[in-house]
Structure 1
Amino acid sequence: MIRHDLTLNGQTIHLRDTGDPDAPALLMLHGFPEYGGAWGGLAALLSDRYRCLFPDQRGYGRSSAPAEVEAYRIKPLVEDMAALITWLGRPVTVIGHDWGAAVAYALAIARPDLVGRLVILNGVHPGPFQAALATGGAQAAASQYMHALRAEGAEAHFSADGHRRLLRLFAENMDMSWMTSDLRETYVAEWSRPGRLTGMLNWYRASPVVVPKPGEPVAIPPLPADRFRVTMPHLLIWGRGDTALLPEATEGLESYCADLTRVEVPGADHWIVHQRTEEVAHIIGSWLAGQTAG
């Protein structure tokens, strides 16, 4: 594996790069509270056929972590990854999870010239997600943790006692049997880099997503399908046991997508890429091969 420290969009982006440099490229975008290295297991299973690129996004790991909340609005986050693809010199398949899925969707919508295929693992398009939240129903209840992450002083709260509360949030209602003690230490070390926890939390603070109190619906106009359309072939892989992102957060996704394939994985949850790494690699590889054949 090669590591690069690239200056892109005015930021240092730390990039892991493995596989044949001339093979079709997969850009893998992590979510909260992970970092680029979270894709290592999946990349190892796909790098015989693809060039796998998995960066620390801004605010995470060894990449830049500007202090300002405004630096984490979706536009600069997308511009970081657009610059990375431009550095590579050809369109890629983008794979996103959690917050990485939000960037992947926004990149696919804003820069379809850079994204040949889109793969999402337990992540949400902003249209169906905000619609589900607005009802004040189950997804709103499941997303109340976002208020704690946005709060002033959240850094001190979640970093206390060796990041005990952040580890607990990471694991809440999820199968964490994959999390070894060595891996836990690695995550804590990444979170402990100066300024990184603020950067990670600022993704939530900068987001315009409205999270109402449970039972208190809010009137939010639906996002127009023509402006938020995903035009390229799109694969959604869903761990059915996810308690942070619920199935209702993807209802109506078809209205935003020209070519959507859904695959549900029973017995997996939000951390599906760790729990079912081989199965996820097989699903992605088979779908991409079918796209190429088609």
Structure 2
Amino acid sequence: MTLDESKLSHRFTERSGVRLHYVEAGEGPLVVLLHGFPELWYSWRHQIPALVEAGYRVIAPDMRGYNLSDKPAGVAAYASSELTADVAALIQAAGVERAAAVVGHDWGAGVAWPFAMRYPELLERLVILNGPHPATMLAALRTPRQLRKSWYMFFFQIPKLPELLLQSTDYALFRASVKNDPCRPGAVTEDDLARYLEAWSQPGALTATINYYRAAFRPSSLLESGKPPRVDAPVLIIWGEHDRYLGPEVAVPDPALAPNVRLVRIPDASHFAHYDRPEKVNQLLLDFLR
């Protein structure tokens, strides 16, 4: 299904002095789509039209630090508490009591999981694409297998050097991730890639997006909500099995942390399952929402 950008509204809302950009389309129950790293709202180009056609209202933000959203300075601005409060602000700006679903991929999942913990009253369902529960990921980072896959997370802890390397190579690491990782040939076209490059080149964007990883490694940001890290809402986990960054063992959290989970593994999809198998992902999403 092709995205018709003429049917999208580009909007902004502000929280605590940070202006957040999002696209909106459709009418009906609200679905919030949270993109991953290093992406932008456009990563949901296959899901937005399918949801709108099915009768949903969709909001897909550029998360803070990305693309057209503000890029506040300092690592603390990207703490989990700030990121989840942004999602709450988006739902409140939409004028609804709660979202029918919050959908997160990769870092979007890294925000969606704690959002469901902190603000359970603001969503009915949670959908996760290749993004482990924070407690599951924390445990996995103690294993050699996941440490090897997550080398870049530790590299990003070095001040300034990652930014210099990425800029000097024309974002080669980012381009390889979104262009070469998907299993489906042509899943990301040159025109698509140009959209990503434009977003990465926004002033301050590179440091802001890497600051997500820096903030995540600060002790105050690890499961610090003050509430048990439990999600009682129904959860659909869609997992592309050809994931270079996450081992298959981190897909499902401890039932004590998320007792109402359905897992669907897609064997011919990568970390970017919504690029590789958009029709499959869309059908799973719509079936879960009904």
Does the alignment reach a TM-score above 0.5? Answer: yes
Q: Distance in 2 between matches of 1:118 and 1:151?
A: 33
Worse-matched range after superposition: 172-181 or 33-42: 172-181
Find the partner of 1:54 among 44, 60, 65: 60
Residue 105 of structure 2 is aligned to residue 104 of structure 1: no
Shift of 1:55: 0.3
The letter of the residue matching 2:35 is H
- Unpaired stretches in structure 1, ≥5 consecutive residues: 211-220, 290-294
- 1:26 paired with 2:31, answer yes
2:5 matched residue in structure 1: none
Asked if the contact 2:36/2:108 (under 8 Å) is kept, the reply is yes
Structure 2 unaligned spans of 5+:
1-7
| Residues 12-61 of structure 1: per-residue CA shift (max 9 Å, x gap) | 110100111xx011000011000111112211111122111100000001
1:77 to 74, 77, 83: 83
Query: Which residue number corresponds to residue 171 of structure 2?
Result: 163
Task: Name the CA distance, whole Å, in 1 between partners of 2:223 and 2:201.
Answer: 39
CA gap of 1:172–1:38, structure 2 versus 1, over 3 A, is: closer
2:189 is equivalent to residue 180 of structure 1 = yes
Q: TM-score if structure 1 supplies the norm length?
A: 0.88
**SS of equivalent to 1:151:** coil
Across the aligned residues of Structure 1 and Structure 2, the Cα RMSD in angstroms comes to 2.1
Say how many residue pairs are matched: 275
In the TM superposition, what is the alpha-carbon distance from 1:150 to its structure 2 partner?
2.6
Moved more, 23-32 or 242-251: 242-251
Which shows bigger deviation, 228-237 or 157-166?
157-166
What does residue 254 of structure 1 align with?
Answer: 255
DSSP-derived class of the 2:104 partner: strand
Q: Which residue of 2 aligns with 1:117?
A: 125
Q: Matched residues in 1 for 2:10 and 2:241: separation?
A: 34
Offset at 1:162?
2.3
Taking only the aligned residue pairs, the percentage that are identical comes to 34
1:1-294 paired onto structure 2 within 5 Å: 1-20=8-27, 23-48=28-53, 49-88=55-94, 89-92=96-99, 93-134=101-142, 136-152=143-159, 153-170=161-178, 174-175=182-183, 177=185, 178-208=187-217, 227-289=228-290
